[in-house]
Amino acid sequence: MQSLNFPTPIYNNNIPTPQKANHFLFRNRRDQTPRFPTLLLAAEHDLALKDEENKGGAVVPLPEGLRREVMPRHVAVIMDGNAKWARQRGFSAASAGHEAGGRSLRELVKSCCEWGIRVLTVFAFSYDNWTRPKMEVVFLLSLFERMLQSELDNFMRKGIRVSTIGDSSRLPESLKKLISDIEEKTRDNCRLHLILAVSYSGKYDVTQACKSIAHKVKDGIVQLEDIDESLLEQELETNCAQYPCPDLLIRTSGELRISNFLLWQLAYTELFFAEALWPDFGKAEFIEALTSYQQRQRRYGGRHS
């Protein structure tokens, strides 16, 4: 496991939060949470969990060693190693690994629901993956569609909201319709927000945000001096989430890169690289990643005396 141990996190309430855009049209209607963790935010997170539990949610006791007050609100995962897993077991095609990876994703979603994580973003299919062999691409999209269909009842029962980010223009029509239907049906669920990055590119996400702002400047909707980090973040696809920027990124299979995933949003994210291949990534590995996260000191460019 490639991970560094850091001192216990220190929450500094005196760090100023970034200024929001001044233009009234671009004030986010959702709660804008400062990117700096504070004891107040941790308390609000815990109260939200208790509220969900009162509504019938199944927040279970945390595994030994984990603390709810420093649980990451948003976890992102690059699910890598399916094809390698299949090869190691003698399968001629990567499809067996993708099927096994689907089972790992179900278990991860279950753990996030039970342990109070609010947002889970998974890199299901990169825009760059369109260059893979056609049979593998067709299988991946078919598997994705089947999983969504089979999990809809579970999403509703457990209060999971589903959103997708990425360029949907190349997706099959049946999959686009299914995604639209599931997003609409789960829109009011609030226990866990599951964000599926499909045909997603971090570079494109930033590019389209810049283009959107440029159009609004051209049309006189916003002034040049209104453009700041907050305004750009509101144009990114992850703005669908209450907590758009991940606290923790996990990548499996021992690869040490972020592969064009959430490039802007990962600016201050803690990184954890697991040796386990994605189909072998289970509860024990997730606990290890969360334990490592909770041992770290998040400074955001500052320094604690």
Active site residues: 80
CA angle centred on 213, ends 163 and 271, rounded to 5°: 50
CA angle centred on 75, ends 125 and 161, rounded to 5°: 75
| CA 163/CA 98 separation, integer angstroms | 21
To 10 degrees, what angle do helices 95-115 and 134-158 make? 20
Instruction: Please answer whether residues 116 and 123 qualify as being in contact, where contact means their C-beta atoms are separated by less than 8 angstroms.
Output: no
| CA 198/CA 196 separation, integer angstroms | 6
Other Cβ atoms within 10 Å of 206 Cβ, number = 17
DSSP-assigned beta bridge partners for residue 121? 76, 195
The gap between the terminal CA atoms of the chain, to the nearest Å, is 30
